[in-house]
Amino acid sequence: MQIDSVARGKRGIETDVSRNPGLEVVGCAPVFWGELDYTTSGPTPARQMGVAKLTDQNTVVPESKYARVERERRYLLQDLPEGLSRADHHLQITDNYLTGTRLRLRKVRDPKTNKWIVKFSQKFAQNPKDFSRTIITNTYLNALEAEMLAVFEANEIRKNRYAFEFNGRKFSVDMFLGDLFGLLLAEVSFETDEELDSFPKPPWALADVTNVEVFTGGRLCELTFEDIRNEIAQSGFIAK
Protein backbone atom coordinates (compact mmCIF):
# COMPACT_ATOMS: atom_id res chain seq x y z
CA MET A 1 0.00 0.00 0.00
CA GLN A 2 1.30 3.44 -0.95
CA ILE A 3 0.82 6.47 1.33
CA ASP A 4 0.14 9.84 -0.23
CA SER A 5 0.83 13.04 1.69
CA VAL A 6 -0.01 16.68 1.08
CA ALA A 7 0.83 19.25 3.73
CA ARG A 8 -0.88 22.60 3.56
CA GLY A 9 -0.58 25.82 5.54
CA LYS A 10 -3.28 28.28 6.53
CA ARG A 11 -3.89 29.45 2.98
CA GLY A 12 -3.85 26.00 1.41
CA ILE A 13 -0.32 26.30 -0.02
CA GLU A 14 1.35 22.95 -0.59
CA THR A 15 4.60 22.39 1.27
CA ASP A 16 7.68 20.52 0.05
CA VAL A 17 7.47 16.81 0.90
CA SER A 18 10.64 15.83 -1.01
CA ARG A 19 12.44 15.35 2.29
CA ASN A 20 10.19 12.39 3.06
CA PRO A 21 11.63 9.44 1.09
CA GLY A 22 9.20 6.67 0.22
CA LEU A 23 6.21 9.01 0.11
CA GLU A 24 4.65 9.81 -3.22
CA VAL A 25 2.22 12.64 -3.78
CA VAL A 26 -0.53 11.59 -6.16
CA GLY A 27 -3.23 14.19 -5.54
CA CYS A 28 -4.43 17.09 -3.48
CA ALA A 29 -5.69 16.31 -0.01
CA PRO A 30 -8.32 18.45 1.73
CA VAL A 31 -7.07 21.67 3.27
CA PHE A 32 -6.54 21.57 7.04
CA TRP A 33 -5.26 24.45 9.12
CA GLY A 34 -1.65 23.57 9.78
CA GLU A 35 -2.32 19.81 9.73
CA LEU A 36 -0.60 17.04 7.72
CA ASP A 37 -3.31 14.96 6.06
CA TYR A 38 -2.57 11.35 5.19
CA THR A 39 -4.70 9.37 2.75
CA THR A 40 -4.22 6.02 1.10
CA SER A 41 -4.21 5.08 -2.55
CA GLY A 42 -5.32 1.50 -1.78
CA PRO A 43 -8.68 0.14 -0.76
CA THR A 44 -8.45 1.60 2.78
CA PRO A 45 -10.91 4.53 3.09
CA ALA A 46 -9.42 8.01 3.42
CA ARG A 47 -9.21 9.30 6.96
CA GLN A 48 -9.99 12.97 7.48
CA MET A 49 -9.99 15.16 10.57
CA GLY A 50 -13.09 17.19 11.35
CA VAL A 51 -13.09 20.94 11.93
CA ALA A 52 -13.98 21.99 15.48
CA LYS A 53 -16.92 24.36 15.83
CA LEU A 54 -16.47 27.27 18.22
CA THR A 55 -19.29 27.76 20.71
CA ASP A 56 -19.81 29.77 23.91
CA GLN A 57 -19.32 26.52 25.80
CA ASN A 58 -15.91 25.58 24.38
CA THR A 59 -14.45 29.08 23.87
CA VAL A 60 -12.58 30.68 26.77
CA VAL A 61 -12.22 34.48 26.85
CA PRO A 62 -9.33 35.39 29.19
CA GLU A 63 -9.30 38.72 30.97
CA SER A 64 -7.50 41.19 28.73
CA LYS A 65 -4.81 43.46 30.12
CA TYR A 66 -5.70 45.93 27.36
CA ALA A 67 -9.37 46.25 28.36
CA ARG A 68 -10.54 49.03 30.66
CA VAL A 69 -13.69 49.92 32.55
CA GLU A 70 -15.67 52.77 31.01
CA ARG A 71 -17.96 54.59 33.46
CA GLU A 72 -20.60 56.74 31.80
CA ARG A 73 -23.98 58.31 32.30
CA ARG A 74 -26.26 58.95 29.33
CA TYR A 75 -29.02 61.56 29.12
CA LEU A 76 -31.90 62.19 26.74
CA LEU A 77 -32.13 65.79 25.51
CA GLN A 78 -34.93 67.89 24.04
CA ASP A 79 -32.45 70.15 22.22
CA LEU A 80 -28.83 71.21 22.33
CA PRO A 81 -27.90 72.73 25.70
CA GLU A 82 -27.96 76.50 25.93
CA GLY A 83 -24.72 77.94 24.59
CA LEU A 84 -24.27 75.18 22.02
CA SER A 85 -25.38 75.44 18.39
CA ARG A 86 -25.27 73.18 15.33
CA ALA A 87 -22.71 75.50 13.75
CA ASP A 88 -20.21 74.90 16.56
CA HIS A 89 -17.21 72.68 15.96
CA HIS A 90 -18.09 68.99 16.07
CA LEU A 91 -16.80 65.58 15.04
CA GLN A 92 -18.56 63.40 12.48
CA ILE A 93 -18.87 59.83 13.75
CA THR A 94 -19.89 56.72 11.85
CA ASP A 95 -20.36 53.57 13.94
CA ASN A 96 -20.76 50.17 12.34
CA TYR A 97 -21.92 47.46 14.76
CA LEU A 98 -21.00 44.02 13.44
CA THR A 99 -24.15 41.94 13.35
CA GLY A 100 -24.48 39.43 16.19
CA THR A 101 -21.28 40.52 17.96
CA ARG A 102 -20.04 42.96 20.61
CA LEU A 103 -17.75 44.58 18.04
CA ARG A 104 -17.87 48.09 16.61
CA LEU A 105 -15.93 49.85 13.86
CA ARG A 106 -15.86 53.59 14.52
CA LYS A 107 -14.71 56.25 12.05
CA VAL A 108 -14.25 59.78 13.39
CA ARG A 109 -13.74 62.71 11.02
CA ASP A 110 -12.79 66.25 11.97
CA PRO A 111 -14.38 68.56 9.33
CA LYS A 112 -11.81 71.26 10.08
CA THR A 113 -8.83 69.13 9.09
CA ASN A 114 -10.54 66.37 7.06
CA LYS A 115 -8.52 63.87 9.10
CA TRP A 116 -9.89 60.52 10.20
CA ILE A 117 -9.35 58.30 13.22
CA VAL A 118 -10.56 54.71 12.93
CA LYS A 119 -10.81 52.31 15.84
CA PHE A 120 -12.09 48.77 16.25
CA SER A 121 -13.71 48.17 19.61
CA GLN A 122 -15.22 45.45 21.72
CA LYS A 123 -17.64 46.85 24.29
CA PHE A 124 -20.00 45.06 26.64
CA ALA A 125 -21.64 45.33 30.04
CA GLN A 126 -20.64 42.69 32.57
CA ASN A 127 -23.93 43.22 34.37
CA PRO A 128 -26.80 43.13 31.83
CA LYS A 129 -28.81 45.49 34.04
CA ASP A 130 -26.03 48.06 34.48
CA PHE A 131 -24.90 49.86 31.31
CA SER A 132 -23.11 52.59 33.26
CA ARG A 133 -20.06 50.34 33.63
CA THR A 134 -18.82 48.65 30.48
CA ILE A 135 -15.64 46.86 29.47
CA ILE A 136 -14.06 48.31 26.35
CA THR A 137 -10.99 47.37 24.31
CA ASN A 138 -9.84 49.64 21.48
CA THR A 139 -7.51 48.99 18.56
CA TYR A 140 -6.60 51.87 16.25
CA LEU A 141 -6.51 51.03 12.55
CA ASN A 142 -4.87 52.35 9.41
CA ALA A 143 -6.78 52.85 6.15
CA LEU A 144 -6.12 49.35 4.78
CA GLU A 145 -7.14 47.63 8.00
CA ALA A 146 -10.34 49.67 8.16
CA GLU A 147 -11.16 48.76 4.57
CA MET A 148 -10.65 45.05 5.26
CA LEU A 149 -13.13 45.13 8.16
CA ALA A 150 -15.71 47.11 6.18
CA VAL A 151 -16.74 43.94 4.30
CA PHE A 152 -18.55 42.50 7.35
CA GLU A 153 -22.30 42.89 7.70
CA ALA A 154 -23.06 45.70 10.13
CA ASN A 155 -25.73 48.15 11.27
CA GLU A 156 -24.72 51.79 10.98
CA ILE A 157 -25.19 54.85 13.16
CA ARG A 158 -24.17 58.36 12.06
CA LYS A 159 -24.00 61.33 14.39
CA ASN A 160 -22.35 64.68 15.02
CA ARG A 161 -20.59 64.94 18.38
CA TYR A 162 -20.21 68.26 20.18
CA ALA A 163 -18.02 68.96 23.20
CA PHE A 164 -19.85 70.74 26.01
CA GLU A 165 -18.68 71.71 29.49
CA PHE A 166 -21.04 72.11 32.43
CA ASN A 167 -20.12 72.58 36.11
CA GLY A 168 -16.56 71.48 35.43
CA ARG A 169 -17.61 68.28 33.64
CA LYS A 170 -16.96 67.58 29.96
CA PHE A 171 -19.96 66.16 28.13
CA SER A 172 -20.24 64.67 24.66
CA VAL A 173 -23.49 65.75 23.02
CA ASP A 174 -24.56 63.57 20.09
CA MET A 175 -26.97 64.74 17.39
CA PHE A 176 -28.01 61.65 15.44
CA LEU A 177 -28.47 61.58 11.68
CA GLY A 178 -30.16 59.29 9.16
CA ASP A 179 -32.87 56.99 10.55
CA LEU A 180 -32.29 58.39 14.05
CA PHE A 181 -32.50 62.07 13.06
CA GLY A 182 -34.22 63.95 15.89
CA LEU A 183 -32.53 62.02 18.69
CA LEU A 184 -30.11 63.87 20.96
CA LEU A 185 -28.11 62.25 23.75
CA ALA A 186 -25.41 63.51 26.11
CA GLU A 187 -22.74 61.39 27.77
CA VAL A 188 -20.33 62.12 30.59
CA SER A 189 -17.48 59.91 31.83
CA PHE A 190 -16.13 59.26 35.33
CA GLU A 191 -12.93 57.89 36.83
CA THR A 192 -14.47 56.29 39.92
CA ASP A 193 -17.66 54.46 40.87
CA GLU A 194 -18.29 57.03 43.60
CA GLU A 195 -18.37 59.90 41.10
CA LEU A 196 -20.60 57.91 38.77
CA ASP A 197 -23.13 56.93 41.42
CA SER A 198 -23.44 60.38 43.00
CA PHE A 199 -23.68 62.50 39.84
CA PRO A 200 -27.05 64.31 39.50
CA LYS A 201 -28.99 64.75 36.27
CA PRO A 202 -28.14 68.08 34.61
CA PRO A 203 -31.06 70.56 34.54
CA TRP A 204 -31.00 70.72 30.73
CA ALA A 205 -31.52 66.94 30.34
CA LEU A 206 -34.95 65.34 30.02
CA ALA A 207 -34.07 62.01 31.59
CA ASP A 208 -31.24 59.77 32.70
CA VAL A 209 -31.40 56.85 30.23
CA THR A 210 -28.10 55.23 31.21
CA ASN A 211 -29.67 51.88 32.03
CA VAL A 212 -32.36 51.91 29.37
CA GLU A 213 -31.06 49.33 26.90
CA VAL A 214 -32.78 50.87 23.89
CA PHE A 215 -30.41 53.86 24.15
CA THR A 216 -27.22 51.77 23.94
CA GLY A 217 -25.37 51.82 20.63
CA GLY A 218 -25.91 48.13 20.03
CA ARG A 219 -29.70 48.65 20.11
CA LEU A 220 -29.92 52.09 18.54
CA CYS A 221 -28.30 50.79 15.36
CA GLU A 222 -31.36 48.56 14.84
CA LEU A 223 -33.97 51.30 15.39
CA THR A 224 -35.44 54.47 13.90
CA PHE A 225 -36.39 57.72 15.61
CA GLU A 226 -40.03 56.67 15.44
CA ASP A 227 -39.14 53.52 17.38
CA ILE A 228 -37.49 55.68 20.03
CA ARG A 229 -40.52 57.95 20.31
CA ASN A 230 -42.76 54.93 20.80
CA GLU A 231 -40.41 53.58 23.47
CA ILE A 232 -40.48 56.91 25.32
CA ALA A 233 -44.28 57.09 25.15
CA GLN A 234 -44.74 53.52 26.41
CA SER A 235 -42.15 53.61 29.17
CA GLY A 236 -43.08 56.96 30.67
CA PHE A 237 -39.60 57.32 32.19
CA ILE A 238 -39.40 61.04 31.33
CA ALA A 239 -42.06 61.82 33.92
CA LYS A 240 -40.18 59.99 36.67
The answer to whether residue 60 sits within a structural domain is no
What pLDDT sits at residue 48? Answer: 55
Helix (H, G, I), strand (E, B) or coil at 84: coil
What pLDDT sits at residue 25? Answer: 43
Residues 73 and 106 in one domain: yes
The answer to whether residue 61 sits within a structural domain is no
Residues 224 and 108 in one domain: yes
Number of structural domains found in the chain: 2
Residues 126 and 182 in one domain: yes
User: Which residue would you say has higher pLDDT here, 225 or 61?
Assistant: 225
What pLDDT sits at residue 236? Answer: 77
Residues 51 and 77 in one domain: no
pLDDT digits (tens, 9 = 90+) for 34-85: 444 444 455 555 555 556 787 877 777 677 778 899 999 999 999 999 999 9
Which residues on adjacent β-strands are paired with residue 137? 122
Q: Which domain holds residue 20?
A: 1-55
The answer to whether residue 1 sits within a structural domain is yes
Residues 139 and 75 in one domain: yes
Kindly state the average pLDDT of the residues 152-162.
95
CA distances from 18 to 6, 89, 211 (A): 11, 66, 63
Residues in the chain: 240
Residues 9 and 111 in one domain: no
pLDDT surpasses 70 at 10: no
Q: Which of 4-13, 52-61, 172-181, 186-195 bottoms out in mean pLDDT, i.e. has the lowest?
A: 4-13
Residues 132 and 165 in one domain: yes
pLDDT digits (tens, 9 = 90+) for 184-206: 999 999 999 999 999 999 999 99
Q: What is the pTM of this model?
A: 0.74
CATH number assigned to the domain comprising residue 129: 2.40.320.10
pLDDT digits (tens, 9 = 90+) for 88-143: 999 999 999 999 999 999 999 999 999 999 999 999 999 999 999 999 999 999 99
What pLDDT sits at residue 57? Answer: 79
The answer to whether residue 12 sits within a structural domain is yes
Residues 100 and 197 in one domain: yes
What pLDDT sits at residue 21? Answer: 46
- Rounded to whole angstroms, how far apart are CA atoms 164 and 84? 7
Residues 93 and 44 in one domain: no
The answer to whether residue 41 sits within a structural domain is yes
Q: Are 109 and 92 in contact (CB under 8 A)?
A: yes
Average pLDDT of every residue of the chain: 83
What pLDDT sits at residue 237? Answer: 72
Residues 37 and 107 in one domain: no
